[in-house]
Amino acid sequence: MKNRLLIFGFILLAGFSCQSKEPKLPDTPLSEQNLKFEIYDSLVVDYLGNLILMDISPDQKHFLLIDQNTDSIFVTDPMGVILNRYIRSGEGPEDYNDTRSGLAKFISNTEFILPATRGMYLYSLAGDLNQKYTVDFYSDVAIVVSNSDNIALNGNKIYTNLSGRYTDQGFEGVEYQQKARKIEVLDLQTGEFSPALPFPKASRFSSETEIHPAIAYYTNLAILDDSLFVSFRNEATIYIYSLSNLDSAFSFKVIPFEKFILAKPTDPNDDAAFRMRDLFVGTVNRVIPLGNGEFIVDFLSGLSDEEVDPILNEAGTDFSKMFEEANKINTAGRVVFDGKAISPIIEKPEILGSLTKFVSRDEIWFALNFSEVENDYSVIYKTRLAEK
């Protein structure tokens, strides 16, 4: 692997094949631990673009990346050498003709599956379409996070946050909240999707009296061993399910954020399909199970009415200005949560962008923060969770 890792003016050289021991975290209470994402290696690709790492093949011989600007898919070797490059968004017979709804994942050493708003597409390393799995309902996703880690694999089954099956049947409002299922399970052997996971009884979104905006319950999911971990965008709770029983959570953990702004219920007499205010509430963007009851939680605290109203009034229809001003006062970052307490926000070097691939505490991959540096090549950073 090329090791042209530029940070603080130094070039850090590290062999990709060298494996570090699992870092030992401090014995102090979690709320007092000062943690950081420590850079120790990189993947350098000779390509000028906005590349992020989607996945690594089980045998670690192939890296799967995508250019956020063009949706070009890249397959490289561990040294960053480009082996294949192609675009599969489009109207061709082997393209995904709808919107990509998340990051692709390897299901074997030679195939990866890509989620879209109407189903999933199975491709070979060379970009050939091997199988297309489409749903038989119209997906009514309120928000599409194309770079989210929104599919989880377990054996021959794939779990994803596709939604829309029940709105096709005319359910809406409270009736939808009572009857909907929040994920779809694809059986790769039969090629069929099946709905699973009603809103947990402990969730405010299962309310029989309040209607909540669809953007608030965008669903995040992850699998570790035989457990499925579920969180909703505007609820500071992690629900834990056994993969053998997705009808009810066997436990849940409330994340004790100091501040987490909730979206207000929807007024049934309000015909507006979307409220700008809902973009600036608290969000749980991703939950990563670490094992031993611990998680990395990516979050935004959200802004109160007193904080956000002046921003919206001043920005008018200028979305860029809205988010720029909101980001100045919004608390954001990643913390470790042990089921009871949370750590301070994990320190992240400015050169790091989005976290897109988690393997273990000792292998966490970040994209380059393009607002901090411009290169004539692409760098993906390999980090570990360590004590400051």
Kindly tell me the burial class for residue 127, based on how many C-beta atoms sit within 10 Å of its own C-beta (0-12, 13-18, 19 or more): middle
Per-residue pLDDT reduced to its tens digit, 155-201: 999 999 987 677 666 667 888 888 889 999 999 999 999 999 999 99
Task: State residue 1's pLDDT score.
Answer: 46
Q: 110 pLDDT band (50/70/90 cuts)?
A: very high
Per-residue pLDDT reduced to its tens digit, 326-363: 999 999 999 999 999 999 999 999 999 999 999 999 99
Range of the domain at 198: 5-18+27-387
Higher-pLDDT residue of 117, 345: 345
Per-residue pLDDT reduced to its tens digit, 2-25: 443 333 333 333 333 344 444 445
Kindly tell me the burial class for residue 161, based on how many C-beta atoms sit within 10 Å of its own C-beta (0-12, 13-18, 19 or more): buried
Q: 271 pLDDT band (50/70/90 cuts)?
A: low
Picking from 253, 328, 266, the residue whose alpha carbon sits closest to that of residue 297 is 253
Task: State residue 180's pLDDT score.
Answer: 87
Average pLDDT, the chain: 89
**Proportion of the chain above pLDDT 70, given as a percent:** 89
Task: State residue 4's pLDDT score.
Answer: 37
Per-residue pLDDT reduced to its tens digit, 226-267: 999 999 999 999 999 999 999 999 999 999 999 999 999 987
Structural domain count of the chain: 1
* Dihedral Cα 78, 81, 84, 88, nearest 10 deg: 80
Mean pLDDT across 15-39: 69
Backbone φ and ψ for 2, nearest 5 degrees, come out as: -70, 145
Per-residue pLDDT reduced to its tens digit, 127-153: 999 999 999 887 667 788 888 998 999
* Separation of alpha carbons 326 and 216, rounded Å: 18
* Domain CATH for 100: 2.120.10.30
pTM for the model? 0.89
Task: State residue 165's pLDDT score.
Answer: 77
* Separation of alpha carbons 187 and 107, rounded Å: 13
Residues in the chain: 388
